[in-house]
Structure 1
Amino acid sequence: MDSLIHDLQHVTIRRISVSEMDNNVYLLTSKATGAQLLIDAADDLPAIQQLLSDASADTTAAPRLELIATTHQHWDHVRALAALVEATGAPTVAGTDDAGVLPVAVSRTLEHGDRVAVDGFELTAVHLRGHTPGSIAFVYQDADGPAHIFSGDSLFPGGVGNTQKDAARFNQLIDDVTERLFDAYPDQSFVHPGHGKPTTLGAERPHLEEWRARGW
């Protein structure tokens, strides 16, 4: 199955699913420079290395992994992180409030609104509190089309992430998702979650109050 899911003007986006948890691993590659940014080294280093190899077809430059971004601290999203860092030497970024428990020393910690740049493109860090304290969504704003939101486990088709029936955590997460994603980006924006299939903000927006009322 072809991992290429979006062939944009300046960047390609590839996705694979790994592990029994159906974790999504995303790879963005700059067509002009070959710079690559990987989101969530979840599991299965050989599969991730194959993903990197496949993306060499997306650029006329020499491809190189410049950054590994982690959406949040949960074990199923970081099982291949240490091995990938060892294999590539790539630096890492993660949310400040999750970074301390990751299996690698994080090169740079992120706060809400920080920009994450590699040679050829940049992402915006959106801090979404609740699923974990330091969960980060990474947003690529395509110059010629919709935004691409890599939401980790904070937003899925059909609802926000698991908050273990903790009302305070749920309220924080639904507030952050509403204010920092739905109020900030238009309906055509793509949502690429940490597990499962993609969606758009427009497909989910009509259900926000339903989610809030049900409490999960």
Structure 2
Amino acid sequence: MTYSGDVQVGGPADVRELPELTITKLAVGPWENNAYLLRCTATGQQLLVDAANDADRLLALLDGGSLDTIVTTHQHGDHWQALEQMTRVTGAKTVAHPLDAPALPVAADRTVEHGDKIAVGEVELEVIHLRGHTPGSIALHYNGHLFTGDSLFPGGVGNTNKDPERFTQLFDDVVQRLFERLPDETWFYPGHGKDSTLGAERPSLAEWRERGW
């Protein structure tokens, strides 16, 4: 089946098979968060992006396999409701940016900065620090596939609570660290809702800057 990224709370996960990585997207309630399970096809090692909620459904995605790492994209509570249970059950190591890690319910086993790499088996994910939604928000990039947390969505950047300085910081980071570096075909997977590509959103950048959100 063709991957669309269109998932609903309570509905099935959607799966994308890449040569080196399998991406499984699941929506969990009550805030319609997306969680992404990444599995290295060579080694079977697995990494979860945001243990948002509903640990039982997240555990079911493992299909009896182990979970090696949980990356939390940022400190907001809707992205880590299942973090404590998932780490307790699986023994997974936890990763976050140092500016957001203190707000999490589980101490980070590793903190990462802009440009660092996180391994899942033989695959390396690049850490991209996107400041503004929270001080320590991060995205993860692998070979044209970008997990953006709440920093970039179809239609705009993440919420900066109408703070002009925070908006400018986030917009500038998104433009400089994503749109100016990565090609149009880069597919991004946000923390809520549907996916998109940088090419689909690029024509709207001037509009986003003008409106200020």
If the TM-score is normalised by the length of the shorter chain, which range does it land in? over 0.9
CA contact (8 A) 2:39 2:120 kept: no
Alignment-mate amino acid for residue 169 of structure 2: Q
Question: Counterpart amino acid of 2:97?
Answer: G
The within-5 A match list for 1:108-127 is 108-127=110-129
Query: AA paired with 2:179?
Result: F
Specify the code of the residue in structure 1 equivalent to 2:108. V
Residue from 38, 46, 65 that aligns with 2:48: 38
Counterpart position of 1:95: 97
Contact 1:13 1:27 in 2 (8 A): yes
* Structure 1 Cα separation of the partners of residues 188 and 207 of structure 2: 19
Percent identity over paired residues? 56
- Counterpart residue identity of residue 8, structure 1: L
CA deviation after TM superposition for structure 1 residue 118, in Å: 2.5
Distance, in Å, in 2 between the alignment partners of 1:209 and 1:93 is 34
What's the offset of the Cα at 1:183? 0.6
Q: Which residue of 1 aligns with 2:182?
A: 185
Deviations 1:138-171 (A, max 9, x none): 1112xxxxx1100000000000000000000000
Distance in 2 between the 1:155 and 1:43 partners?
21
Corresponding residue of 2:7 = none
Render the CA deviation track for 1:178-208: whole Å, top value 9, x for unaligned.
0000011000000100000000000000000
Distance in 2 (alpha carbons) for counterparts of 1:89 and 1:20: 25
Q: Give the aligned residue type for 2:118.
A: V
Q: What is the aligned counterpart of 2:142 among 117, 125, 140?
A: 140
Alignment check: 8 A CA contact 1:4 1:12 kept: no
- Of 169-178 and 4-13, the range deviating more from structure 2: 4-13
Which of 182, 193, 198 aligns to 1:201? It is 198
Q: CA deviation at 1:50?
A: 1.1
Residues in 2 aligned to 1:35 and 1:81: alpha-carbon distance in whole angstroms = 18
Structure 2: tracts of 5 or more residues without a match: 1-10
Q: Does 2:208 correspond to 1:211?
A: yes
Give the structure 1 partner of residue 160 of structure 2: 163
In the alignment, which residue of structure 1 is the partner of 2:69?
67
Runs of 4+ in 1 over 4 A off after TM superposition: none
Partner letter of residue 112 of structure 2?
A: L
Give the 3-state SS of the residue equivalent to 1:100 in structure 2: helix
CA distance in 1, matches of 2:28, 2:37: 13
Give the TM-score taking structure 2 as reference length: 0.93
Aligned to 1:77: 79
| CA deviations over 1:2-25 (Å, ceiling 9, x no partner) | 524311111110010001211000
2:39 counterpart (29, 37, 43): 29
**SS of residue matched to 2:67:** strand
Say which SS state the counterpart of residue 184 (structure 2) adopts: coil
Match of 2:13 in 1: 3
